[in-house]
Amino acid sequence: MFAPPSARGEISARLLAALREPAGGRGDRSPLAQDPVDELVREAPADDCLADEDLQLALYVCYELHYRGFDGVDERWEWEPSLLSLRAGLEAAFERSLRDALGAPGAAPAAQDMDLALRAIDAQDDAPSLSRFVEREATLEQLREFLIHRSAYQLKEADPHSWALPRLSGPPKAALVEIQADEYGGGRTDRIHAELFAGSMQALGLDPRYGAYLEQIPGVTLATINLMSLFGLHRRWRGAIVGHLALFEMTSSIPNARYARGIRRLGFDGDATMFFDEHVEADSVHENIAATDLAGGLARQQPAVAGDVLWGARALTLLEGRWARHLLDRWEAGESSLRSAVAGGALAGTL
């Protein structure tokens, strides 16, 4: 666990203030029950919630209670009805913005064509290539910022997708288990991908502790993790989480090779590149499993969610593209891509 973050607006301020009290406090009433959910969520921008600092942090905090939690926060908050009601309002706002950007899930191709349909989504992606920039141009400071952004997910890599396991059965479940087993190191602690990423951070002078940089990570980055939690924690979105993972696995091998070359260009190797080198190999193996056995298998087994599979993949492309543009735009302007620059002395961390 780690310390709760600072608030970024009215929604997160009220949520974090409530979490300082026992769940169900003030007699039989929760602190969150004192304020209508609609009033809390009304502070979010109506036109675009996909990068809003206040909403995305509040949603991230709600979801984190299902992962590792926070120091000093009553663990009973995880299932406190008033918090779940607030979370539902935040999720509704998040989903509205996703639907505004993507439209509703539509018809899906035949199950045997799912591989091609997913590849078409990737081919249509017009986001700038962050991996090419890291490979060829990024400074050491920019590389460190990239790792800080990614730490919000990579230090719990595979966990959001694992929520799908009890929601699947038969061949799709077997395919997901095969992929996830590699993500968790095949039973070896030193090969768990989250541990490898922590090693990369430490080798590059960063603090590898879970949640260490949450204060610096902006809403546009938190949205990419919240998307996975939204899909993974709702059975109705089981198709979307499968599509998200499938496209993620199908498209990550080449970027990870570029990231590794960029790190080596800056004079690092060994622990610094091990995470990325591992993904070059593992994801090339996972590619066909994810596309054919997992995504295609679910479409064959449950045709009703096949459209959601593609929608989940499109949502991944949308938010990852927005995130990449944020980093590259800030760097082109000579600015930090984080909410506040991490001081050089803090980069080393104290372990």
Closest CA to 202 of 255, 136, 275, 132: 275
> What values do phi and psi take at 51, rounded to 5?
-135, 10
CB 338 within 8 A of CB 217: yes
C-alpha span between 21 and 24 (Å, rounded): 8
Tens-digit pLDDT profile for residues 157-200: 999 999 999 999 999 999 999 999 999 999 999 999 999 999 99
Mean pLDDT of 47-64: 93
* Residue pair 328/133 in contact by the 8 Å Cβ criterion: yes
- Look-up: residue for tokens 């799709």? 172
Nearest to 148 by CA among 233, 228, 196, 210: 210
Cβ neighbourhood burial of 288 (10 Å; 0-12, 13-18, 19+): middle
Cβ contact 183:275 at 8 Å = no
Tell me the three-class secondary structure of the chain, residue by residue: CECCCCCCCHHHHHHHHHHCCCCCCCCCCCHHHHCCHHHHHCCCCCCCCCCCHHHHHHHHHHHHCCCCCECCCCHHHHHCHHHHHHHHHHHHHHHHHHHHHHCCCCCCCCHHHHHHHHHHHHHCCCCCCHHHHHHHCCCHHHHHHHHHHHHHHHCCCCHHHHCCHHHCCHHHHHHHHHHHHHHCHHHCHHHCHHHHHHHHHHHCCCCCCCCCCHHHCCHHHHHHHHHHHHHHHCHHHHHHHHHHHHHHHHHCHHHHHHHHHHHHHCCCCCHHHHHHHHHHHHHHHHHHHHHHHHHHHHHHHCHHHHHHHHHHHHHHHHHHHHHHHHHHHHHHCCCCCCCCCCCHHHHCCCC
pLDDT of residue 45: 62
Q: What is the pLDDT of residue 351?
A: 32
What is the structure's pLDDT at 25? 64
* CB-count exposure of residue 190 (10 Å: 0-12, 13-18, 19+): exposed
Q: Give residue 284's pLDDT band: very low, low, confident or very high (50, 70, 90).
A: confident
Closest CA to 216 of 55, 21, 347: 347
In the chain, what percentage of residues exceed pLDDT 90?
85
Residues 99-127: pLDDT tens digits? 999 999 998 889 999 999 999 999 999 99
Q: Which domains does the chain have, with CATH numbers?
A: 10-102 (no CATH), 111-347 (1.20.910.10)
CB 69 within 8 A of CB 56: no
Give CA torsion, residues 243, 153, 182, 264, to 10 deg: 110
Q: What is the pTM of this model?
A: 0.94
**pLDDT score for 38:** 62
Per-residue confidence at 349, pLDDT binned at 50, 70, 90?
Answer: very low
